[in-house]
Amino acid sequence: MEKNLDKKIESILFFKGHGVSFKELSKLLNSTESEIKDALNILKDKLEGRGIVLVLHNEKATLTTSPDSSGLIENITKEELSKELSKSTLETLSIILYRGPVRRSEVDYIRGVSSQFSIRNLLIRGLIEKSTTSDDARSFIYQPSTEFLQYLGITSLDQLENYQKIREELQSYIDSGNKDESKNEV
């Protein structure tokens, strides 16, 4: 087994922020699935008694907070949910409403900064939902949740004010950025 394979797996799981299949870890680290499983067991042992635990389920691995910290995490979550949405979170929500279903990379491109924490906040609040794309099971798309549409009192997104106009403007912005990138390639 490759030296420090458990540390590399830990880094990947932390970076990804969601479950990663043993098969994908094997590809990423150019190791056998057996080596990955051995390294995961080592990592699991190293995390024993820590604030982070390794969960192995359905041939996937993910890092989560320790069950011992559940009360603390629950209090933090309640506090986050009681706060108003920040400007960046509202921007992210607007993009998902008018552009969705959309990948996080597209939201990041439109905003010009990472939207990871805003998306997490929206998911926790139940305002958006994520699903995998049909072409890539490892890629997520985000869209408004049914509950949020009910809260807004609409049955479809096209009932949002200026929906089509804003959607077209967002597409135009994305298209103009792609043209600029293709000019740079020449």
pLDDT of residue 12: 92
Whether 102 and 164 map to the same domain: the answer is yes
Full pLDDT tens readout for the chain, 186 residues: 678 999 999 999 988 877 889 999 999 999 999 999 999 999 999 999 998 889 888 888 988 888 888 888 777 767 766 678 889 999 999 999 998 889 999 999 999 999 999 998 899 888 899 887 766 666 789 999 888 887 788 888 888 889 999 989 988 988 887 665 544 444
Whether 15 is in a domain gets the answer yes
User: Residue 148's domain spans which residues?
Assistant: 84-173
Number of structural domains (the chain) is 2
Whether 44 and 97 map to the same domain: the answer is no
pLDDT of residue 146: 84
Tokens representing 30 are: 């150019």
Whether 110 is in a domain gets the answer yes
Whether 64 and 88 map to the same domain: the answer is no
Rounded Cα gap, residues 2 and 35, in angstroms: 8
Rounded Cα gap, residues 8 and 95, in angstroms: 34
Residues with Cβ within 8 Å of 117's Cβ and at least 6 positions away in sequence, in order, are none
Whether 153 and 88 map to the same domain: the answer is yes
pLDDT of residue 156: 82
Rounded Cα gap, residues 90 and 72, in angstroms: 26
Residue 90: CATH number of its domain: 1.10.10.10
DSSP letter string, 116-149: HHHHHHHHHHTSEEEEE-SS-TT-EEEEE-HHHH
Residues with Cβ within 8 Å of 126's Cβ and at least 6 positions away in sequence, in order, are 145, 147, 148
| Domain's final residue, options 38, 68, 98 | 68
pLDDT of residue 9: 94
Whether 94 and 169 map to the same domain: the answer is yes
pLDDT of residue 186: 40
User: Phi and psi of 119, rounded to 5°?
Assistant: -65, -40
Kindly report the pTM of this predicted structure.
0.55
